[in-house]
Structure 1
Amino acid sequence: MYNTAPGAPPEGDSCPPLPPSRDRVYARTRQLALTAGRYAHQISKSDYDQAMREITGQSDPKRQEAILEAAERLRLARVAKHQQLTAGSAGRQPPAPRNSRH
């Protein structure tokens, strides 16, 4: 079966994908505005940014940063808890009690 979409690479071609067309981004931007309850000509920068992310497959930098910060806070909390549990310890286990039978 042949792919007849304009600008699409032939099947089996390993070329990198083409950058998104301006028309495709603009169409998705208008669609997002309509979904948000606005007229198609009332697009916002956030509509445009979301359309670009969706079409190019890029992630939201603010969301990605928030995820990384949360992971770092969790890691630091675990380290602090471990340090509290081991504070005052010489790093060795106490000797085992002897079984003495008199």
Structure 2
Amino acid sequence: MSTQAEDVAAEEQVAEDDSPLADPEFREQLRELPPSAKLVAKVLEGEAPLSQGELAEESLLPDRTVRYALNRLADADLVDSRYSFHDARKQVYFLAA
């Protein structure tokens, strides 16, 4: 019989395998980007979708740096966005699959 801790670890491993960050091609593209873009991608891996403001809060980066990181990620086709269901004035971001 497996313990609860083993079950949680197995679920986390499955979730990590489904993450775009587990894809070697995605990781190679990300490797060429600045550290701020890597941090934003890591935050999005765990808590997507997030708005620009939420990304700034979670990553502890300034809004301007988050905007730059999102632009670099978007240019590399590593992040996508859509309008928020909660507030149609805002866009939320998530990693491209």
TM-score range with shorter-chain normalisation?
A: under 0.3
* Higher relative contact order (CA closer than 8 Å, sequence separation 6+): 2
Greater Cα radius of gyration, structure 1 or 2: 1
Give the structure-1-normalised TM-score: 0.25
More helix by percentage = 2
More strand by percentage = 2
